[in-house]
Amino acid sequence: MLTVVKNIKNQLKVSFLTVKYALIREMINKTTFLTNITFMILNDASFILQWIVLYALKDNVGGYTFNQVLLLWGIAAGTYGFSHFFFESAFNLSDTINNGKLDAFLVQPKNVLISTITMSISASAIGDLAYAYIMLFVFGFTIKNFLLFTLFCFTGSLIIVSIAIILGSLSFWFNKSDVIADTGNSLLTNFATYPDGIFKGITKILFYTILPLGYVAYMPVQILSSFNIKLFILVISITIMFITLAVITFYRGLRRYSSSNLMIART
């Protein structure tokens, strides 16, 4: 037991250092770093303008009030922010596998998957995170809301990172599967900011199965609007399920890893 705690502590120390050093790398060019963050906040804010116009004409879109749309945006931005700040390289997993870049982590006494997905960060994700909390303030800041909001941004990010890992791990089996991974990842981002009431039928089923935005954004909005313990447990359980699936898929695939020797070539 003591060894397990020690191992977790050491793993966390290395992961913290990795994120710290990756952040230092992003900050080398101060202007680019700050511009990336600012433009991401402006980019997110620009979308709210169209919702302001829409809500001037209608009181309710897909069952969502304007305040709830702001919260949905907050959770979507927070989820995106957390996942791309801490786990940016999960979204480039195909490339890491195809170019034999797992070698460095496989010879280290640490968890390969964690080391692989935490090796880089995205500066613009800081902009998303800042925007997410601005939205929370507009929606209504209370300690309870803050804690739940942060938790859901984190569970959401764990779900989309898990999906990115599953899609990226396909590269262990199939050549050129990076296209599938890219499409899957962008689908998740594209739909996350629309009220789920506007989607019907199969699309809605998809959001609660293979494109689990229901658990990433829609259910958290419902819980934050009016707390529901059943939904809360469901979100946590689904998150654990996706993490488990991702871990199993990655380690199954790792047995097939062929560690190609990286060469720059036109492909």
Partner 1 sequence: MNEKAIIVKNLSKTFRVKEKEKGFKGSIKSIFKTKYREIKAVNDLSFDVDKGEILAFIGPNGAGKSTTIKMLTGILFPDQGTVEVMGIDPKKKRKKLAYEIGTVFGQKEQLWTHLTPYDNFKFFGAIYDIDDYTVEKRIKELKDMFELDEFINTPVRNLSLGQRIRCEIVASLIHKPKILFLDEPTIGLDPVVKENIRTLIKRMNKEYHTTVFLTSHDVGDIEKLCKRIIIVNHGQIVLDDSMENLKYHYLNKKIVEAKMKEKVNLNDEDGITILKDKGYNLKIEVDTTKRSVGDAIKLLNPNNIIDINISNIPLEDIISDIYKRDK
Contacts with partner 1 by CB under 8 A lie at 6, 10, 13-14, 17, 21, 24-25, 28, 100-104, 106-110, 175, 255, 257-259, 261-262
Cβ atoms of 61 and 111 closer than 8 Å: no
Q: Between 101 and 128, whose beta carbon lies closer to partner 1?
A: 101
| Smallest gap from residue 60 Cβ to partner 1 (A) | 48
Rounded CA separation 19/16 (Å):
5
Report the residue number, 144 or 176, with the smaller CB distance to partner 1: 176
Short-list 45, 96, 40, 31, CA closest to 73: 45
Choose between 210 and 262: whose C-beta lies nearer to partner 1.
Answer: 262
Q: Of 11 and 65, which has the nearer Cβ to partner 1?
A: 11
Query: In the complex, what is the shortest distance from the CB of residue 86 to partner 1, in angstroms, rounded to a whole number?
Result: 17
Q: Quick one: tokens of 223?
A: 């819980």
Task: Name which of 31 and 175 has its Cβ closer to partner 1.
Answer: 175
Q: Minimum distance between the CB of residue 175 and partner 1, rounded to whole angstroms?
A: 7
The token pair that represents 202 in the structure block: 């199969």
Amino acid at 80: Y
Q: Is 174 left (phi over 0), alpha (psi -120 to 50) or beta?
A: beta
Torsion of CA 15, 16, 17, 19, to 10 degrees: 80
Q: What gap in Å lies between CA 60 and CA 237, rounded to an integer?
A: 31
Q: Which is nearer to partner 1, 103 or 142 (CB)?
A: 103
Exposure of 53 in the CB half-sphere (CA atoms within 13 A) = 5
175 φ/ψ sector (left φ>0, alpha ψ -120 to 50, else beta): beta
CB of residue 258 to partner 1, shortest distance in Å: 6
Instruction: Name the minimum Å distance from CB 92 to partner 1.
Output: 17
Nearer to partner 1, 6 or 200 (CB): 6
Rounded Cα–Cα distance for residues 79 and 198 (Å): 21
Q: How far is the CB of 256 from partner 1 (least distance, A)?
A: 8
Q: How far is the CB of 114 from partner 1 (least distance, A)?
A: 12
Strand partners, 57: none
H-helix or E-strand spanning residue 150: helix 143-169
